[in-house]
């Protein structure tokens, strides 16, 4: 780990131990699956075995009267009663109504006193299907004779589409994002160097140790309480209210700890189905996915792309043209924003005379795709970085020299109308190169690679927080940003402790509960520390100001003459502890001081087009060794650069970087969801799907923390954790090419690497 020497405060810039560590290692921490309510029954789901089929008949065969069975839910219970839902497009029913669109789609749900009884009921149910044509791949979905998965002209925008006008037309395109500057055709016609290629990125599973779990309870006919493993409680609340025709204050979403998310638990997943089953059962219902069920609940988008990059003979970049298609599966979910973010990432952080980017979201008859850490950037950064390197090889510049020559500088515009670059990429890339001993001699079959990209981070800038300072001097923070394992409760505790000059141990951070914790837009897009953290900072400073105002009256001195430290307000050698000031204010031992902080768009709408809140740097380096006879890769050295503005907790930054790097390794080297011609997932278990483990760690890993205090968050912080995934994945790909392998498809399995070696050598 390397980082700058910015002075630490009482709690900021310090490796404070995680406040949730003890509860998690002892098993005392509460997750959604731990809830047990009076009268609760267990839900199980019967899923489609066809990728595309009409449901002709569902024969219950007495399942609804079997011992312990409380309710059976089918499409007949929701058709015409509840509308479709969806984050971006309202394209999804609560449960399949007339047809299924992917293998694994819920068709029947059963609630019973025990899981075994629910499974017994599912076993007797028969479903008669009429198979329909499938479109399992992007190419099949775009073909002239492709089956249409949705009536596009009747689709409505979801509550949080947020990407401008819907431009839907018949076919399987759910979103099209495009922008251009200059004439790429004219530039390409006069360019000395033209590099183009086609690339394929696989569908990938956002594996989290805790599968999706929801407990739904109707406490009255018009009041719903949902306890769920979701990352965005307020967005889920809004969708449930809209779906069931309720006021938002009649829906309560409670989110305890999450056992990982990585985007898999973004937006609405199992909550509508569980809530509908609970409504029919008249009792609380718990549905907990198995890992195999979570794998067909959400995934990362697969992608195919064509890219052309041009340059002059001296290596000056001229133009980039990109066409990319993202496989969003049977339902849009967050697909439109993935498409838009991918399009933004496609040019890379370089200076261009002309750019033309088109990206499309494509419906296919496969499981729905949604958010996954560093989406968009991970899809396209590796493609663009390989083309930058190829231009360098043709003009005699190495990868580092190409980036020194062409990277954007702070203040230059990344995309038309968006926020200018807010990072020093040139200094960052030097750190990555240094960690790889760039320029030193390499052994045969060893390659080194660098990659740099940007991720539009921060999502919509709306967050609120409340700090309550109790009579005994302890503080309670109310904030709805979800603790997914990334350490937000620890960092938030540090912010409050810093502002109120108290130990972190005296700060308590509650879990998200839409009935008691204030509004936060979402947990994702590296926004928690930056945006929710700024709301926390402002709430704590509100309390701080109240304490100083009270102390001013007690001391009879102006606030400027006072100092806050060690849980008290001081003047010279005299101290008034926080409890004494609260007692003086209320005239009794009791009362509390309440501070409120908010973040909202200022000077604009906060829209995606005007943003992002900040550009997250996606930077990585890699040194790999290729066995040309087997295609096996050895990861000798992996490097990340965390341009974080200010590291509020350096150790947590490094662990976030390491986690992101490991997922980058997985995405680059071996993770892949493989669907057969019928749409069935062939890698649908953890026996068949390889997620990174400790044995996949590189021989060396180094995280470089850059602190320029140039972020929009507390103390100049920026978010962290996603950039390493995109940066490392792309760096591995460029390193493998540097070792003499032709690469145009991920993951880099031994077979693909071996075939790339054969192609590079010109043999068959």
Task: Give the contacts of 636 (CB within 8 A, at least 6 positions apart).
Answer: 446, 623, 624, 625, 698, 699, 700
pLDDT band at 460 (very low <50, low <70, confident <90, very high): confident
pLDDT band at 458 (very low <50, low <70, confident <90, very high): confident
Given this chain, do its domains 32-134+211-257+264-295 and 462-599 carry the same CATH topology? no
Question: Are 723 and 711 spatial neighbours (Cβ–Cβ below 8 Å)?
Answer: no
Check residue 9 and give its pLDDT. 64
pLDDT band at 555 (very low <50, low <70, confident <90, very high): very high
Sign of CA dihedral 228, 230, 233, 235: negative
Task: Give the contacts of 275 (CB within 8 A, at least 6 positions apart).
Answer: 214, 216, 218, 224, 226, 240, 244
List 58's β-bridge partners, or say none: 127
Task: Give the contacts of 763 (CB within 8 A, at least 6 positions apart).
Answer: none
139: three-class secondary structure by DSSP: helix
pLDDT band at 2 (very low <50, low <70, confident <90, very high): very low
Check residue 657 and give its pLDDT. 96
- Measured distance CA(229)–CA(208) in Å, rounded: 11
pLDDT band at 19 (very low <50, low <70, confident <90, very high): very high
> CATH 3.90.1170.50: does it fit domain 32-134+211-257+264-295?
yes
- Measured distance CA(503)–CA(497) in Å, rounded: 6
Q: What count of other Cβ atoms lies within 10 Å of the Cβ of residue 456? A: 25
Q: What is the DSSP letter of 729?
A: H
Q: What is the DSSP letter of 31?
A: B
Question: Are 346 and 384 spatial neighbours (Cβ–Cβ below 8 Å)?
Answer: yes
% residues pLDDT > 90 (the chain)? 94
CA distance from start to end of the chain: 44
pLDDT score of 292 more than 80: yes
Identify the CATH class of 462-599: alpha beta
More confident residue, 419 or 538: 538
Check residue 479 and give its pLDDT. 97
235: three-class secondary structure by DSSP: helix
Residue 333 Rama label (left phi>0; alpha psi -120 to 50; beta): left
Match 């108290």 to its residue by tokens: 502
> And the tokens for 264?
């898999």
Check residue 441 and give its pLDDT. 97
724: three-class secondary structure by DSSP: helix
- Measured distance CA(458)–CA(422) in Å, rounded: 13
User: Exposed, middle or buried, 396 (CB in 10 Å: 0-12/13-18/19+)?
Assistant: exposed
pLDDT score of 7 more than 80: no
pLDDT digits (tens, 9 = 90+) for 239-279: 999 999 999 999 999 999 999 999 999 999 999 999 999 99
> Which of 282, 271, 209, 197 is closest to 241 using CA atoms?
271
> Which of 705, 709, 749 is closest to 724 using CA atoms?
705
pLDDT score of 294 more than 60: yes
pLDDT digits (tens, 9 = 90+) for 345-389: 999 999 999 999 999 999 999 999 999 999 999 999 999 999 999
- Measured distance CA(692)–CA(667) in Å, rounded: 9
Rg (Cα) of the chain, in Å, rounded? 27
pLDDT digits (tens, 9 = 90+) for 65-84: 999 999 999 999 999 999 99
Every domain of the chain and the residues it spans: 32-134+211-257+264-295, 377-458+612-761, 462-599
Check residue 763 and give its pLDDT. 61
pLDDT score of 610 more than 90: no
Q: What count of other Cβ atoms lies within 10 Å of the Cβ of residue 25? A: 10
Q: Classify domain 377-458+612-761 at the CATH topology level.
A: Aldehyde Oxidoreductase; domain 4 (3.30.365)
Check residue 3 and give its pLDDT. 43
446: three-class secondary structure by DSSP: strand
> And the tokens for 23?
């509860």
The DSSP secondary structure of 484-523, one letter per residue, reads SSS-HHHHHHHHHHHHHT--GGGEEEPPEETTTSPPB--S
Check residue 163 and give its pLDDT. 80
List 322's β-bridge partners, or say none: 307, 357
- Measured distance CA(94)–CA(104) in Å, rounded: 14
445: three-class secondary structure by DSSP: coil
Helix (H) or strand (E) holding 285: strand 285-288
- Measured distance CA(262)–CA(484) in Å, rounded: 8
- Measured distance CA(87)–CA(337) in Å, rounded: 10
Task: Give the contacts of 444 (CB within 8 A, at least 6 positions apart).
Answer: none
pLDDT digits (tens, 9 = 90+) for 638-689: 999 999 999 999 999 999 999 999 999 999 999 999 999 999 999 999 999 9
Helix (H) or strand (E) holding 547: helix 533-555
Task: Give the contacts of 644 (CB within 8 A, at least 6 positions apart).
Answer: 653, 705, 706, 707, 711, 717, 718, 719, 720
Residue 256 Rama label (left phi>0; alpha psi -120 to 50; beta): beta
- Measured distance CA(519)–CA(720) in Å, rounded: 22
- Measured distance CA(41)–CA(464) in Å, rounded: 35
> And the tokens for 89?
């497009």
pLDDT score of 5 more than 80: no
> Which of 394, 561, 374, 534 is closest to 462 using CA atoms?
534
> Which of 690, 271, 351, 340 is closest to 525 using CA atoms?
340
Q: Which phi and psi (to 5°) does residue 19 adopt?
A: -70, -20
Instruction: Give strand ranges (E) for 22-143.
Output: 41-47, 53-59, 69-73, 99-100, 106-112, 126-131
Q: CB-side exposure of 201: number of CA atoms within 13 Å?
A: 33
- What average pLDDT score do residues 207-217 get? 97
> Which of 6, 353, 23, 375 is closest to 204 using CA atoms?
375
User: Exposed, middle or buried, 693 (CB in 10 Å: 0-12/13-18/19+)?
Assistant: exposed
């Amino acid at each position: 780990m390397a980082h700058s020497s910015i002075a630490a405060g009482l709690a900021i810039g310090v490796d404070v131990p995680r406040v949730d560590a003890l509860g998690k290692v002892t098993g005392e921490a509460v997750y959604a699956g731990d809830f047990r309510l009076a009268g609760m029954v267990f839900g199980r789901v019967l899923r489609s075995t066809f990728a595309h089929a009409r449901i002709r008949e569902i024969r219950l065969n007495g399942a609804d009267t079997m011992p312990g069975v409380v309710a059976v839910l089918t499409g007949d219970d929701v058709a015409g009663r509840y509308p479709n839902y969806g984050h971006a497009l309202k394209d999804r029913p609560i449960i399949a109504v007339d047809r299924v669109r992917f293998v694994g789609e819920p068709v029947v749900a059963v609630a019973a006193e025990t899981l075994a009884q629910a499974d017994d009921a599912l076993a007797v149910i028969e479903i008669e299907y009429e198979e329909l044509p499938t479109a399992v791949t992007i190419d099949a979905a775009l073909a002239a004779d492709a089956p249409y998965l949705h009536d596009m002209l009747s689709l409505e925008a979801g509550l949080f589409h947020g990407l401008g006008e819907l431009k839907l037309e018949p076919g399987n395109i759910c979103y099209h994002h495009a922008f251009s500057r200059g004439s790429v055709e004219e530039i390409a016609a006069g360019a000395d160097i033209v590099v183009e290629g086609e690339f394929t990125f696989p569908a990938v599973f956002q594996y989290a140790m805790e599968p999706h779990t929801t407990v739904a309870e109707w406490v009255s006919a018009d009041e719903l309480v949902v306890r769920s493993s979701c990352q965005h409680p307020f967005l889920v609340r809004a969708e449930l209210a809209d779906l069931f025709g309720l006021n938002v204050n009649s829906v309560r979403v409670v989110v305890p700890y999450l056992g990982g998310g990585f985007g898999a638990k973004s937006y609405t997943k199992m909550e509508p189905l569980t809530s509908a089953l609970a409504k029919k059962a008249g009792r609380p219902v718990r549905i907990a996915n198995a890992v195999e069920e979570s794998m067909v609940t959400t995934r990362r988008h697969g992608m195919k792309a064509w890219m052309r990059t041009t340059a002059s003979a001296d290596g000056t970049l001229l133009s980039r043209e990109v066409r990319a298609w993202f496989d969003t599966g049977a339902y849009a979910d967050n697909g439109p924003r993935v498409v838009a973010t991918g399009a933004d990432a496609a040019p890379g952080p370089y200076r261009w005379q002309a750019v033309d980017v088109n990206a499309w979201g494509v419906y296919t008859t496969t499981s729905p795709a949604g958010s996954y850490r560093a989406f968009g950037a991970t899809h396209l950064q590796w493609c663009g970085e390989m083309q930058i390197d190829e231009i360098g090889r043709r003009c005699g510049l190495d990868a580092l020299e190409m980036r020194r020559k062409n990277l954007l500088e702070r203040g230059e515009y990344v995309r038309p109308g968006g926020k200018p670059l807010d990072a020093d990429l040139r200094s960052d890339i030097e750190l990555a190169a240094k960690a790889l001993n760039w320029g030193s001699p390499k052994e045969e079959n060893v390659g080194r690679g660098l990659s740099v990209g940007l991720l539009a981070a921060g999502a919509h800038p709306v967050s609120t927080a409340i700090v309550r300072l109790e009579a005994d001097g302890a503080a309670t923070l109310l904030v709805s940003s979800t603790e997914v394992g990334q350490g937000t409760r620890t960092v938030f505790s540090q912010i409050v402790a810093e502002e109120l000059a108290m130990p972190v141990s005296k700060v308590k951070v509650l879990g998200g509960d839409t009935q008691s914790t204030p509004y936060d837009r979402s947990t994702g897009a590296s926004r928690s520390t930056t945006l929710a953290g700024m709301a926390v900072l402002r709430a704590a400073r509100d309390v701080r100001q109240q304490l100083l105002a009270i102390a001013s009256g007690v001391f009879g001195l102006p606030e400027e003459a006072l100092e806050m430290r060690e849980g008290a307000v001081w003047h010279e050698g005299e101290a008034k502890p926080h409890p004494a000031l609260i007692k003086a204010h209320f005239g009794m031992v009791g009362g509390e001081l309440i501070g409120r902080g908010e973040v909202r768009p200022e000077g604009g709408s906060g829209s995606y087009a005007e943003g992002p809140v900040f550009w997250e740097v996606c930077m990585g380096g890699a040194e790999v060794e290729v066995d040309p006879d087997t295609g096996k890769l050895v990861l000798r050295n992996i490097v990340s650069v965390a341009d974080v503005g200010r590291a509020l907790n350096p150790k947590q930054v490094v662990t976030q970087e390491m986690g992101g790097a490991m997922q980058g390794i997985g995405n680059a080297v071996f993770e892949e969801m493989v669907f057969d011609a019928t749409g069935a997932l062939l890698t649908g278990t953890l026996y068949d799907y390889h997620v990174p483990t400790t044995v996949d760690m590189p021989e060396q890993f180094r995280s470089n923390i850059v602190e320029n205090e140039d972020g929009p968050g507390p103390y100049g912080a920026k978010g962290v954790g996603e950039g390493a995934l995109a940066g490392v994945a792309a760096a591995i790909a460029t390193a493998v090419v540097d070792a003499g392998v032709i690469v145009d498809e991920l993951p880099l399995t031994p077979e693909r690497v071996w075939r790339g070696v054969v192609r590079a050598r010109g043999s068959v």
